[in-house]
Structure 1
């Protein structure tokens, strides 16, 4: 019985296929489909992609060029959709069969959606979500089965007190919530890069706009998500005052850090790239301002997360606030028998040869390398060298260690002795010692 049923079904399908293949309209539609896809590929490869590749070679790492490159990769299915849509409309107007072109159009739309996911969704989770959920939903919509599918999901529901939760509502909130937060994070990252690349604005202003953009974007996303959940925003406004008081008390520290960050950026007491030393002795370069904290990068590669309020309420030293030029000193000793005046001139000349030490006749006298006596020690004369340099004497700008090596080599080259601890023992009663 079952074999006969399937045989009849197969026979009817085969007869339908034979009937379609015998019609001239079927081959005409195939010709239109092949022509549309070929024309779309030609437009993509010969015009759009070639021009975009030529343009992006100049600055391939720029965010706008990266965006143009990704957009160019979705041109092929997009042009195919446009051409097939035009030919389908012409076929309907001429009262021709367009079922095959509609099928090809649906395939082109799915390819277009897949290309967007491939080019613009870098998150593995979101990519899988779009491919496994978004594309099937799109296919159901194109085939006209989506309303019936939604009704089926709405029929599956549970009651939680006075609230009825349907499978469709839960799925919609989870799906669109994930999309909104992913879009928010992606838009935030792109927006921050674009704002920070505006060289016409100073660093502090860029950081202020970046922070405000990030906060505003996530506020909009939160409102959209509440709307998707079916929350009445007008009714929500009634509770805004009480909610604000509660948040103000519960999130006082977070609000304080956020406002402190805005104040720091507006008064320009700290900017990106400054080298600061905190009251507790921690120090590092300011690399980024977040909503709640700033990131200090130390020379050994560690990141220190400092609450923004710390910069307002405690003492800190900004080494590079007004001028990145800094003065340092290195100490050494020479023997008492040294001709100090001649040695000082030799050391000054040697130190001035270092490429990172500020020196030269055009430099003010007080900023040139200097060598002076610090004190008279037990074993020798304690000397020091003062010098100015651009930046901080650490990391890649480690100049102090280089100068100590230069001083050591210079002293050895001129036979200048470096003292070391010595003790002289005198025997006052030699007879007593000999008896022992």
Structure 2
């Protein structure tokens, strides 16, 4: 290229000199014709000296300028092609790392072999492999020694030991000693190899250490998470996330989740990351809220200065305030603006108006029951359908009534605000009961009261107030005189087998001991002879 340009410049110089000579000869008269026998000597042609430093530098500068111009044009063309490919979706395809021909396979195998051979010849790589093997062999030995020597790992905690819950977790962690020691040894070896000039590298040790941490997380989840569903969710979310962090794609994942917008509340976008944060913080905070609620309810119900109804009201108020605070904390942790809750509550109001009216009605009825104290925990109620039992709990949607035979009835709260029902213990837990029996017509009934009442008063649950037990003549029966004893007791007769059963036994034994006949149906048949 350089020689062609020099030749072109030489020809241009020759042409320029020829034109200059022609211009000078055209201005003067032409010379006389030379004799034929005279030979004309041509004028000397000027010669360009290419070794002249000035010409040489000019030519090199021109060549560099041409090369720079060609490179700029090429880059501009490539950029235009890339922009066109991005706009149409047909950009230049990246070179595939998957071999497509036998030659590519051979070349890939050769490059891999050269890489492995280079590693095997590298002292730093061999030092890292030796450190990993040493940590893998030593970690089970150290873990086994800790199990035998440390009493917290050796002996399970007894029932009444102090800090039993913490001791139990420490004892269960004995199964994690091997991976913990393995991770610790790898961390130490990574620091040592980095500090030694002869080694200088620890990338392989750090990679194995990261994978060991992922395995430790898996073992921790399987050992300490008892709920099957939560264990599966943790394994399929925490473990992949840990692997993504290990191989350095965590920032890309976060950017992708933040870029996937679902909706917007005002000026704040709701992305997939927001939803994930809501699920994570919601599960954590509400789990902690359930624990705090259980502890708080236990503390409230242990206050002897409050009656059962007041304890229930205070407990429900505590529960409502606690979960309201938790809801605000979850929304704040997920970076959802509280001003946007107006939209959520508007949608909730619309849902209540369309299909959630029964739930809202039961919720409001539950609050009314708690505050007006028409039904309290421990009351004995008879429902409109005839079922009866003790009120065990008053929830936000229903009231739990436990029947005398141990069954729980979930009664909607609206039943107690819209329908009639019986509350036996609303104002006074004392109840009046009756025991019915019959005696023969030839019995001296004037002596029955002095005979039976003292025996009835011997029962520890029979009261003398508001009325003393008394004997009543009820009716003349077909087979005898129908009598009844009325008595008062503190509490509810647990079915027909509590107070009334005890009093029936007392009446029967007393009549038997005093030779008083309890009649039973008889038929007298007269045979008339013919």
Query: When the two structures are superposed, what TM-score results if normalisation uses the length of structure 2?
Result: 0.58
CA gap 1:321/1:85 in 2 versus in 1, 3 angstroms: farther
Provide the rounded CA distance (Å) in 2 between the counterparts of 1:370 and 1:6. Answer: 107
Larger Rg: 2
Look up the match of 2:483: 383
CA gap 1:68/1:330 in 2 versus in 1, 3 angstroms: farther
Look up the match of 1:196: 297
Shift of 1:9: 4.0
Of 350, 374, 381, 1:246 maps to 350
Provide the rounded CA distance (Å) in 1 between the counterparts of 2:280 and 2:438. Answer: 68
Of 492, 500, 520, 1:392 maps to 492
Look up the match of 1:408: 508
Of 239, 242, 246, 1:142 maps to 246
Provide the rounded CA distance (Å) in 2 between the counterparts of 1:220 and 1:52. Answer: 41
CA gap 1:266/1:4 in 2 versus in 1, 3 angstroms: same
Contact 1:277 1:317 in 2 (8 A): yes
Shift of 1:294: 1.2
Provide the rounded CA distance (Å) in 2 between the counterparts of 1:39 and 1:408. Answer: 74
Provide the rounded CA distance (Å) in 2 between the counterparts of 1:330 and 1:408. Answer: 11
Shift of 1:218: 7.0
Shift of 1:183: 4.1
Shift of 1:332: 1.0
Provide the rounded CA distance (Å) in 2 between the counterparts of 1:28 and 1:264. Answer: 70
Query: Where do 1:213-224 residues align within 5 Å?
Result: 215-216=323-324, 219-220=327-328, 223=331
Aligned partner of residue 515 in structure 2, secondary structure: coil
Unaligned runs of 5+ in 1: 161-168
- Deviations, residues 45-95 of structure 1 (Å, cap 9, x unaligned): 8365689924xx2399xxx96587457645957976995698479548846
Provide the rounded CA distance (Å) in 2 between the counterparts of 1:53 and 1:103. Answer: 35
Provide the rounded CA distance (Å) in 2 between the counterparts of 1:272 and 1:41. Answer: 56
- Deviations, residues 365-410 of structure 1 (Å, cap 9, x unaligned): 6566554433443432222233444532225963323433453344
Q: Is 1:299 matched up with 2:404?
A: yes
Shift of 1:210: 5.3
Q: Alignment length, in residue pairs?
A: 405
Contact 1:52 1:69 in 2 (8 A): yes
Shift of 1:212: 0.6
Look up the match of 1:338: 443
Aligned partner of residue 291 in structure 1, secondary structure: coil
Contact 1:207 1:289 in 2 (8 A): no
Using CA pairs below 8 Å that are at least 6 residues apart, which structure has the higher relative contact order? 1
CA gap 1:272/1:47 in 2 versus in 1, 3 angstroms: farther
Instruction: Pick which of 131-140 and 378-387 moved more.
Output: 378-387
Contact 2:194 2:201 in 1 (8 A): no
Look up the match of 1:129: 233
Provide the rounded CA distance (Å) in 1 between the counterparts of 2:293 and 2:373. Answer: 19
Provide the rounded CA distance (Å) in 1 between the counterparts of 2:497 and 2:321. Answer: 36
CA gap 1:126/1:210 in 2 versus in 1, 3 angstroms: same
CA gap 1:415/1:129 in 2 versus in 1, 3 angstroms: same
Shift of 1:20: 6.4
Contact 1:121 1:127 in 2 (8 A): yes
Q: Is 1:212 matched up with 2:316?
A: no
Unaligned runs of 5+ in 2: 1-101, 264-270
Contact 2:155 2:171 in 1 (8 A): no
